Structure 1
Amino acid sequence: MKNIAIAKPGYPYIITALVITLFFYTKASFLFLPFLFVTVFLAYFFRDPYRESPAGKNLVLAPADGRIIKIEKAYEPHFIKSETLKVSIFLSLFDVHVTRSPYGGIIPLCRYIPGGFIAAYKEEASSRNERNLIGIETDRGKLLVVQVAGMVARRIVCWIKPGDKIERGERIGMIKFGSCTELYIPSGIKLQVKEGDRVRGGETVLGEL
């Protein structure tokens, strides 16, 4: 079994909580246990488990862990600029929050858009919340991954830049503390999932192009 790593954005939170925990331990304070719980939870939240992507040339993978809350046809105006199939995945506080590439290709677009912080599961969050757009040019067309902040998740991290070449299942970013990830795919995809399904980023097959 592969070891479960901790995502780098979590180090400052975990180290700070650990220092405070040790301080209260040395003081024999009743606050030791609450802060120990916080430290353990942060380590769990920022976990970054190894994922082995399934073989298959044209497979599109889930970009994040969570539950599919909506699958719908939608026009995508920023990158694809045509009718697409939009898959929305809601991440709870207990899901892995690392974002992974659903398909291999080149990154022509990586754009941060400031916005609000309404609940990520609400439909209007897609257009009103803070978000980050990641466009992927592939051998089967264009895909767009959108990292959407929520009420608690107010910090989006992106580890790639325009011009980068990425592989399917590769780590491309993270959204801290609960959020939503959207994937816009060519409408001709053969879907293998439905609304309500739980998926794992970089591992669950959404469909085939």
Structure 2
Amino acid sequence: MRNVALFYFSMKYFIELIVDLSPRPRVIREGYLRIGLATLLLAMATFLHKALRKTPLRPFSTALLNSSLATLSFMLFYYRDPIREPLGSDPNYIYAPAEGRVVSVEEVLEPKFIGGKALRVTIAVGLFNVQLLRSPVSGQLRYHFIENLPASSNNYLGFVTDDSHKVMITHMWRFGKNFLPVPLGSKRVSTLRTDAGAPVKVAQKIGACGFGTGTIVELYIAADGIVQPVPVIGMKVRAGTTVLGRFTPKND
């Protein structure tokens, strides 16, 4: 009876997450397949446990049930989609594009999109951070670029918004071997939901990180403007909520 009740409440929570019947965090669409498979596994494990509970195989069925429940719980947590709203209305604010920790802030040359000096803010996204990417500024998407790097586990995704900010995000694997499989049916480490020419709003969902590994998100800001204050190494950030700084063009 307890297992049936557990299965019922798990299914109820899953449905509420998908259709947003409650204020609880939702899940991102990139996780629908895995959450569905984990739910099916839990259902099968529940019925198997019920059938084998009076046999010598009960320890096996109990372990399978607990494992499937843990898998579903992890998927719901990993693909969570909490509410994120910009904290300010200043159009020159630049928000964090990903959730994690700032690990580097440095001036570099970015020849491909910006064509010169830029401030690069590097954010490490861990397994337990929200896996969504959000637009750091508003504007019109000018470029949509995907490049497969020589290493089989690498990928490079970039976009540039309007000229007033010239902000670009690159996105790549960084932490060695994968802890979990790459996304089913896809060799890309991440997905983008935006197209070239489309308008983007600040904090808009623009993609998701790859499944099952640490990810590095790099934000490049053109040197023809001043960012104040400069982001601090070690600071924790939330995509679409944490203000990295205010961009002021040098000619203003």
Q: SS of the counterpart of 1:202?
A: coil
1:143-196 CA-partner distances (Å, limit 9, x unpaired): 101122344365311000100100111110001233111100123211342111
The aligned residue for residue 38 of structure 2 is 17
**1:72 & 1:14 partners in 2: Cα distance?**
39
**1:117 & 1:50 partners in 2: Cα distance?**
34
Residue 117 of structure 1, CA deviation: 6.3
Structure with bigger gyration radius: 2
Residue 57 of structure 1, CA deviation: 2.1
The aligned residue for residue 149 of structure 1 is 173
Do the aligned partners of residues 192 and 71 (structure 1) sit closer, same or farther apart at CA in structure 2, a change above 3 Å counting?
closer
Do the aligned partners of residues 2 and 27 (structure 1) sit closer, same or farther apart at CA in structure 2, a change above 3 Å counting?
closer
The aligned residue for residue 105 of structure 1 is 139
1:149 maps to amino acid: W
Q: SS of the counterpart of 2:133?
A: strand
Q: Does 1:88 align with 2:132?
A: no
2:44 maps to amino acid: F
Q: SS of the counterpart of 2:69?
A: helix
**2:122 & 2:222 partners in 1: Cα distance?**
15
The aligned residue for residue 52 of structure 1 is 85
Q: How many residues align?
A: 198
Residue 2 of structure 1, CA deviation: 4.2
State which of 43, 46, 50 in structure 1 corresponds to 2:76. 43
The structure with the largest helix share of the pair is: 2
Does structure 2 retain, via aligned residues, the 8 Å contact 1:149–1:156? no
**CA RMSD of the aligned region, Å?**
1.7
**2:241 & 2:77 partners in 1: Cα distance?**
20
Does structure 2 retain, via aligned residues, the 8 Å contact 1:3–1:50? no
Does structure 2 retain, via aligned residues, the 8 Å contact 1:192–1:205? no
Q: SS of the counterpart of 1:110?
A: strand
Does structure 1 retain, via aligned residues, the 8 Å contact 2:125–2:216? yes
The aligned residue for residue 77 of structure 1 is 111
The aligned residue for residue 197 of structure 2 is 163
Does structure 2 retain, via aligned residues, the 8 Å contact 1:117–1:149? no
2:235 maps to amino acid: D
Q: Which of the pair has the greater relative contact order for Cα pairs under 8 Å at 6+ separation?
A: 1
Does structure 2 retain, via aligned residues, the 8 Å contact 1:61–1:202? yes
Q: Does 1:208 align with 2:208?
A: no
Residue 202 of structure 1, CA deviation: 0.1
State which of 192, 196, 209 in structure 2 corresponds to 1:175. 209
- Structure 2: any 5+ residue segments left out of the alignment? 1-21, 50-60, 183-187, 248-252
**2:48 & 2:24 partners in 1: Cα distance?**
34
Residue 137 of structure 1, CA deviation: 1.5
Q: Does 1:34 align with 2:72?
A: no
Does structure 1 retain, via aligned residues, the 8 Å contact 2:121–2:231? no
**1:163 & 1:71 partners in 2: Cα distance?**
29
Q: SS of the counterpart of 1:89?
A: strand
Query: TM-score, normalization: structure 2?
Result: 0.74
The structure with the largest strand share of the pair is: 1
1:159 maps to amino acid: R
Does structure 1 retain, via aligned residues, the 8 Å contact 2:156–2:170? yes
Give percent identity, aligned residues only: 27
2:24 maps to amino acid: N
The aligned residue for residue 122 of structure 1 is none
**1:5 & 1:66 partners in 2: Cα distance?**
19
